[in-house]
């Protein structure tokens, strides 16, 4: 018996942060990861790694063999009747696959919609449906993901929408810490997320460079690490922006864009922002939007699938898509970003133009900015850690834990 959380790694990321919050909110015995890489801290004795170089190499090519390798390692930690919560597609599939050998209860959670509104091709749909139908419960972190799961043919009775938990008091406390970065007197814009294709930061940097023409004192802080960092830094400099990279030392003189990497406390930077901006190509929810709202920071987001609309404009139809700058209930939505990379200094595309327009609008319209700053914390309270905990405990009681 017991409750275990299964993750790919403890490297900085939204799903990882959510899982660690849940590990302290729920009666979890241990966090298990497929990697021994870690940015987050876990109390001693609460983390076990089942890393396998061979299992990692085979994943994506001979995935079933990879799952078999990890299943054998999992069997040393779990027993029949254990409940295992997983937090990514890879660990979800492994969770279900391994349950046949071990006899544990697999509960999978779906955090992302990488295929966009059009959904995956028929083969990927069939594979997802095969695994998710065999889970005891499938947790969707947004109503948008729940709709996708229904379209996959997942039984309605196994789908539960449970929003991610946000420790709002702790976020507010951490936001009060000092920032060791010269921010100057101009407007501060912040974005956060892994530096990857999903987050589309090249669109934001290109739009920000255009914004600087009319708001020369503006600064952009980029929180997060990832494989696209060097290309994003190069793009910034190609666009004439002075780029500072945290890992290379203190900012020497003024800067336009600061790449801050992974920060254990991102909230102290968010709290000093005039705007929070998200340029994602896809999401599943968007933790950083809720965190920004909780701190009273006006938010702008690309209206990607899925999550931002559900958070920022819940009174609108879930399937609606912004065609222009859209003033939502709790933040601003702009049309979805193009999925293609843009590493040049050429003319902005339509999505980037709307993103630039939205940033300029909020910076120039103080009353609108203040209105969003005022309503944001109210919306964030809908996603409190307590609300999430109660939903998870109800689910776990229902499966006999």
Q: Where are the domains of the chain?
A: 3-165+384-398, 168-382
Element (H or E) spanning 17, and its range? helix 14-25
Helices (H), strands (E): how many in the chain? 15, 15
Q: How far is CA 330 from the centre of its chain?
A: 19
Residue 261 burial class via C-beta count within 10 angstroms: exposed 0-12, middle 13-18, buried 19 and up: middle
- With a CB cutoff of 8 Å and minimum separation 6, the contacts of 373 are 296, 297, 298
The DSSP symbol for 337 reads P
Residue 271 burial class via C-beta count within 10 angstroms: exposed 0-12, middle 13-18, buried 19 and up: buried
pLDDT given for residue 161 in this prediction = 98
CA distance 63 to 65: 5
In CATH, what class is 3-165+384-398?
alpha beta
Determine contact, residues 321/311, Cβ cutoff 8 Å: no
Sign of CA dihedral 228, 179, 204, 21: positive
Helix (H, G, I), strand (E, B) or coil at 247: helix
Closest CA to 324 of 338, 307, 336: 336
Closest CA to 135 of 85, 81, 67: 85
Going from the C-alpha of 222 to that of each of 41, 225, 238, 363, the distances in angstroms are 22, 9, 17, 18
CA distance 134 to 161: 18
Determine contact, residues 2/225, Cβ cutoff 8 Å: no
* Residue ranges in the chain whose pLDDT is less than 50: none
Superfamily of domain 168-382, CATH level 4: Glycogen Phosphorylase B; (3.40.50.2000)
Which alpha helices (H) appear in 120-255, and where do they start and end? Answer: 122-132, 143-152, 168-175, 201-214, 229-238
Sign of CA dihedral 329, 332, 338, 339: negative
How large is the angle between the packed helices 122-132 and 89-102, nearest 10 degrees? 40
Element (H or E) spanning 18, and its range? helix 14-25
Closest CA to 267 of 131, 120, 169, 340: 169
CA distance 165 to 142: 12
Domain pair 3-165+384-398 / 168-382, same fold: yes
User: Looking at the whole model, is its pTM more than 0.85?
Assistant: yes
pLDDT given for residue 128 in this prediction = 92
CA distance 203 to 280: 9
pLDDT given for residue 27 in this prediction = 94
The DSSP symbol for 387 reads H
Closest CA to 54 of 42, 67, 41, 43: 67
Determine contact, residues 16/98, Cβ cutoff 8 Å: no
For residue 87, the tally of other CB atoms under 10 A from its CB is: 25
Task: Let me know how long the chain is.
Answer: 401
User: Tokens representing 112?
Assistant: 């992302």
Determine contact, residues 338/263, Cβ cutoff 8 Å: no
């Amino acid at each position: 018996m017991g409750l275990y959380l299964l993750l790919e790694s403890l490297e900085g990321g939204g799903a990882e942060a959510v899982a660690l919050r849940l590990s302290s909110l729920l009666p979890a015995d241990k966090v298990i990861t497929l990697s021994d890489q870690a940015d987050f801290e876990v109390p001693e004795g609460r983390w076990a790694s089942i890393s396998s170089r061979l299992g990692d190499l085979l994943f994506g090519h001979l995935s079933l063999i990879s799952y078999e390798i990890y299943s054998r390692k999992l069997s040393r930690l779990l027993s029949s009747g254990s409940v295992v919560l997983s937090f990514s597609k890879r660990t979800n599939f492994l969770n279900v696959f391994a349950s046949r050998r071990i006899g544990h209860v697999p509960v999978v959670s779906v955090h992302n919609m990488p295929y966009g509104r059009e959904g995956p091709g028929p083969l990927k749909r069939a594979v997802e449906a095969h695994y998710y139908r065999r889970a005891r419960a499938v947790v969707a972190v947004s109503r948008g993901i729940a709709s996708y799961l229904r379209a996959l043919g997942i039984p309605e009775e196994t789908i539960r929408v449970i929003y991610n938990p946000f420790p709002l008091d702790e976020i507010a406390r951490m936001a009060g810490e000092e920032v060791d970065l010269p921010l100057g007197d101009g407007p501060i814009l912040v974005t956060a997320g892994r530096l990857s294709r999903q987050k589309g930061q090249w669109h934001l940097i290109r739009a920000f460079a255009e914004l600087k023409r009319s708001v020369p004192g503006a600064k952009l802080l980029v929180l997060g690490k990832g494989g696209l960092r060097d290309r994003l830094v190069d793009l910034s400099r190609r666009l004439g922006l002075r780029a500072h990279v945290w890992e290379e030392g203190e900012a020497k003189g003024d800067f336009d864009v600061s790449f801050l990497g992974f920060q254990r406390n991102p909230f102290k930077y968010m709290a000093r922002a005039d705007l929070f901006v998200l340029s994602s190509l896809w999401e599943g929810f968007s933790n950083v939007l809720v965190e920004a709202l909780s701190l009273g920071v006006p938010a702008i987001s690309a209206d990607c699938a899925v999550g931002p609309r559900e958070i920022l404009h819940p009174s609108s139809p879930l399937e609606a898509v912004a065609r222009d700058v859209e003033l939502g209930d709790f933040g601003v939505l702009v049309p979805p970003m193009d999925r293609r990379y843009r590493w040049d200094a050429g003319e902005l595309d339509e999505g980037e133009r709307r993103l630039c327009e939205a940033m300029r609008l909020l910076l120039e319209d103080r009353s609108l900015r203040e209105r969003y700053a005022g309503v944001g914390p109210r919306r964030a309270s809908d996603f409190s850690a307590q609300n999430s905990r109660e939903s998870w405990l109800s689910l776990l009681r229902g499966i006999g834990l």
